[in-house]
């Protein structure tokens, strides 16, 4: 039987359920994840169900515009994002899962810092190799 985990943003406007056996947590050293101090779990898209508040989801995209970072437009909490490197998966903010013991899973650091910067006007703080044709 697959484990299920209810989750929500801070204000409770967005509620969702993850139905997936979780095996590890990840950190990321890309500039966005560092600033939001992210700790997440990767799950397939089919394992995430939005139960309430889809209309409250706001989306932030940057750089390649492939990843879609979703947060609550009312309380500002990042809840999950569609992954750039695995677009059929979501990275779930583990702290949004209700009563989840974050010490129950190992944590693996991922290297987002080395992902390419492909936008036309990247900030100097954005680490990673610049793609030919993109300005620095």
Mind listing the domains of the chain with CATH numbers? 4-110 (2.170.150.70)
The answer, as to whether pTM is greater than 0.85, is: no
Q: Over 50: is that where the pLDDT of 136 sits?
A: no
How sure is the predictor about 72, in pLDDT bands with cuts at 50, 70 and 90?
Answer: very high
Quick one: which of 42, 25, 38 has its CA closest to 106?
A: 25
The percentage of the chain sitting over the pLDDT mark of 70, rounded to a whole number, equals: 80
For 37-49, the pLDDT digits (tens) are 989 999 999 999 9
Q: Are 83 and 51 in contact (CB under 8 A)?
A: no
């Amino acid at each position: 039987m697959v484990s299920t985990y209810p989750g929500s943003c801070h204000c409770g406007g967005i509620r969702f359920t993850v139905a997936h056996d979780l095996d590890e947590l990840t950190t990321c050293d890309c500039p966005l994840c560092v600033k939001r101090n992210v700790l997440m779990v990767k799950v397939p898209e089919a394992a995430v169900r939005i139960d309430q508040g889809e209309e409250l989801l706001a989306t932030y995209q940057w750089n390649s515009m492939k990843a879609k970072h979703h947060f609550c437009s009312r309380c500002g909490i990042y809840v999950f994002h569609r992954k750039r490197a695995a677009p059929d998966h979501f990275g779930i903010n583990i702290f949004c899962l209700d009563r989840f013991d974050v010490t129950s899973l190992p944590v693996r650091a991922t290297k987002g810092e080395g992902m390419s910067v492909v936008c036309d006007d990247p900030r100097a703080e954005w680490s990673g190799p610049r793609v030919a044709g993109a300005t620095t």
